[in-house]
Structures are given as structure tokens and as C-alpha cells.
Amino acid sequence: MGPNRNISILLTVPALVVVALLFIYPLGFSLVGAFQDKAGAWTLGNFGRAWDLYRLDTAFTVVIVLVSCALIAFFSVAIGGYLTLGESRVAKAILNFVYRWPLFIPFIVAAQCMRTFIARNGMMNMTLVYFGILDLDQVQGFLDWRGIVFTFVWKQTPFVALMVAGAMAGLDRATIEAARNLGASRLRILVEIVVPQVSRTLAVGLVLSFVTMMSVLSVPLMLSGQSPSMLTVNMAWRINSVGDYGTANALGFVSYLMTGFAAWFYLRHGMRERAGR
């Protein structure tokens, strides 16, 4: 066992080196950079500037991502629930075929499509007007925070739904039938029997989506030019237009704290659940 073990450790070294060089080093570098001024002296000035300029954007980012997460949770549970509990075979087959498509579309393409879809004179409004659901003078564009949320939800729901539907399919069907046997409606079964049993998977999907959405630049950049914007846009601005790496690093540190909080929340939840078993 001994030599074998050494060899297997040796085999992981290249992977570890790559992770260290490409990930840990730059991460550490920018974390340190958040606490240094241009001359390299230690300071909290970057955070002061970030607070002065971007506290509204920070709140905006958190709200957008949380609202998106809530909607993603709702829709992915609805999709997974229909695939698990639905009666119509045909509808299930169609849903199962269609819902994954957005997974294969990159964020930037999705954002580009959304621009033309949800703009004031975009396809969505024109279609609604065409069918007489909206009046031409009622239409409004959604190229603001709503457009960002719409795109995030559209793009991330299939990902979470895929995980959730998989977990639901793996449940002991008898736990569902036992509830039906006692007279639970489909909705009650979904809420009281199915979702609690897949809550861990749902939480993982949402945390991963949270982190993904925190790091997307293209969607807020293309869908909402106005202020406030999301932190990724601000970081890009600080670096590209101002050359201010310090503040960008400070903002990066803040978003790192947010995702870290999400991960901590998930881990804590997971531990408690495991302890409960």
C-alpha cells in the first residue's frame, strides 16, 4: 500500500501545481492587492473608495442575484416537479426535451438575444401587441435590472432544474405513492414530500448559480447601461477605464465575501442535515 500511495500522491502533483499557479496565486495576488495602494503600501483606502462609489451597486448586485435565485428555485422545482409527478406523458416528454436548451447557450449570446427580445420595440412586446394583449402605447422596455434577472433566470434555471429533476427521479417512488395513498394532492406532495427530500441538491444548485451570476460580466453590461450596475461591470470599469486595480480588487474582495457567505451557508446547512441523519 505504501509505495502505491506515494505514487498516487505524485500523480496529483501536476494538477495541484496547475490549480496553484492559475487559481490560488492570482486569487491571493488580487486579495493582497485589495489592501495595497498604488505604491504597494498597506491601506484600507480601496475599500473606502469602493464604499463611497459602489455601495448602492453592491446592494443592487445582492438583490438581483437573490431575486434571480428565488425565481430559479421556483421554476426549477416546478419543472422537476412536473417531470416527476405530471400525468401527461407527452407533455413530460416535450418539457424534458426543451427545458435544457438554454444550458448550451453562452451568457453573452443569451444577453445579445435578450437585447432584441425584451427591448422596447423588441420581439416580446411586438408579439404581445400583435395578439392584442398589450397596446402599443403601453409597451415598455425591460433593458434594466428586470432584463438582467430575466436573463439570469432563463439561463440558470435549466442547470438547477437538471440537478433537481435528477434528484427527484432518484427518490423512492413509494414515498410519493404513500402520500397519494393518504390523499395528498399533487401540489402538497411536491411541497411537503418531494422538495424537502431534494433540498440539499436544490441548495447546491442555487449556491453554484449564485456564484455564477456574481461573476457574469456580459449580461449586466449588455442589458443595462444605466447606474446602478452590478459589481462585475464596476470592476471592469475600474480596470479598463481608470486603471484603478486597487478599487477593483476591493470590489472583488467584496464579491468574494458574498460567494464565501453563500458557500458557508450551504456547508453549514449540509453539515446539520448530515448530523440529523
Partner 1 sequence: MSARLEIDRIETSYGATRVLKGVSLDVAPGEFVALLGSSGCGKTTLLRTIAGFLSADAGEIRVGGRDISGEPPDRRGMAMVFQSYALWPHMTVAQNVGYGLRLKKWDRARIDARVNEILAMLKLDGFGHRNVTQLSGGQRQRVALGRALAVEPQVLLLDEPLSNLDARIREDVRHEIKALQKSLGITAIHVTHDREEAMVMADRIVILDAGQIAQVGPPETIYNAPNSPFVAAFMGATNVVRIEAERSGEAIVVAPGAGNRPARLARPGPQGFARGKLVAHFRSEAAELADAGADFADSLMLPGRIVQAAYPGGVWRYSVAVGESQFLVDAPEKRALGDAVAVRVPADALHLYQAGAS
Where on the chain is the footprint of partner 1 (CB under 8 A)? 172, 174-175, 177-184, 188, 193, 196-197, 199, 276-277
Shortest distance, CB of residue 200 to partner 1, whole angstroms? 11
Q: Round to whole Å and give the CA distance between 167 and 177.
A: 17
- CB-nearer residue toward partner 1: 21 or 178: 178
- CB-nearer residue toward partner 1: 43 or 199: 199
Helix (H, G, I), strand (E, B) or coil at 42: strand
Q: Round to whole Å and give the CA distance between 212 and 95.
A: 25
Strands (DSSP E) found in 128-247: none
Q: Which residue has the cell 458574498?
A: 258
Shortest distance, CB of residue 169 to partner 1, whole angstroms? 16
DSSP state of 191: I
Is the bond leading into 228 cis (omega within 30 degrees of zero)? yes
Q: Which residues 6+ apart lie within 8 Å of 244 measured at CB?
A: 49, 238
Shortest distance, CB of residue 277 to partner 1, whole angstroms? 5
- CB-nearer residue toward partner 1: 78 or 184: 184
- CB-nearer residue toward partner 1: 112 or 197: 197
